């Protein structure tokens, strides 16, 4: 076997599907990425500063935080910033590899005046690498890339490749939230999660997954989906102990 490839920052090479860059950033966005992002990046996640992948305590990153929550793929940061503002006693950790989305989030963060959000401009698997078992009480996967072609379904974030780690880092009694407007992604997620008995779907009636969570801040993407006639789905799974 050949040697495992490494990135410039020393991280091992991993398959990554999706965009990392979009339109040319404006000067103010470049400035925020250069000056603000380093202050908000969760310490110990970047490979360059933690090549041994020592465990990181995410809750301790925010003084006095009672819990840590994780948002995977926060897009432009609307949900992340709203949740952080509404829950100042929670450390909100967000990860997003699309740098244009990170720049949007930084701008929203500055306008909101919050202090309890940390932003990782990279792959969620790098969070998994260093998170302790049960590190997060709530995990959000909002409108993930649907990868609609059948041959690309293995790229979907909710799947056999990532569910073992999602299960590991979700606290017992914690919740995994998935929002999507793609019916096939709902079916795919239900089938994939069914193989993990530690996740229990909480829905008892159709309205339980048709209505948003009580603290859900609607995003621009969701409003676009509604205008175009697509029904959002809100899936909640509780992490339960598995009896051997």
CA distance 23 to 4: 31
CA distance 241 to 244: 9
User: Please, are residues 16 and 97 in contact by the beta-carbon 8 Å criterion?
Assistant: yes
Active site residue 184: no
Q: How far is CA 163 from CA 2, 140, 159, 167, in A?
A: 28, 13, 6, 6
Nearest to 110 by CA among 210, 42, 32: 32
CB neighbourhood size of 94 (10 A): 31
Catalytic residue among 145, 181, 208, 215: 145
User: Please, are residues 180 and 150 in contact by the beta-carbon 8 Å criterion?
Assistant: no
Axis-axis angle for helices 99-112, 27-35 (nearest 10): 80
CA distance 36 to 101: 14
SS3 assignment, position 199:
strand
Beta-strand pair 67-72/136-142: parallel
Nearest to 144 by CA among 127, 121, 162: 162
CA distance 219 to 234: 14
> Which sequence positions are flagged as catalytic?
145
């Amino acid at each position: 076997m050949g040697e495992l490839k490494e990135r410039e920052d020393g991280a091992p090479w991993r398959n990554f599907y999706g965009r990392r860059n979009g339109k040319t950033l404006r000067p103010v966005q470049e400035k925020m990425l250069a000056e603000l992002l380093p202050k908000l990046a969760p310490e110990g996640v970047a490979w360059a500063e933690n090549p041994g992948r020592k465990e990181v305590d995410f809750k301790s990153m925010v003084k006095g935080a009672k819990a840590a929550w994780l948002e995977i793929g926060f897009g432009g940061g609307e949900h992340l910033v709203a949740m952080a503002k509404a829950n100042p006693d929670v450390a909100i950790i967000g990860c997003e590899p699309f740098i244009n989305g990170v720049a949007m989030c930084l701008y929203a963060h500055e306008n909101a005046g919050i202090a309890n959000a940390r932003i990782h401009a990279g792959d969620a698997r790098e969070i998994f690498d260093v998170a302790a078992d049960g590190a997060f009480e709530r995990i959000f996967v909002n409108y993930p890339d649907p990868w609609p072609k059948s041959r690309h379904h293995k790229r979907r974030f909710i799947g056999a490749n990532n569910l073992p780690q999602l299960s590991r880092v979700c606290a017992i009694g914690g919740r995994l939230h998935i929002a999507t407007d793609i019916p096939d992604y709902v079916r795919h997620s239900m089938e994939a999660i069914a193989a993990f008995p530690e996740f229990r779907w909480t829905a008892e009636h159709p309205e339980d997954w048709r209505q948003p969570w009580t603290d859900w801040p609607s995003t621009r993407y969701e409003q676009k989906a509604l205008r175009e006639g697509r029904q959002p789905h809100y899936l909640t799974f509780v992490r339960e102990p598995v009896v051997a």
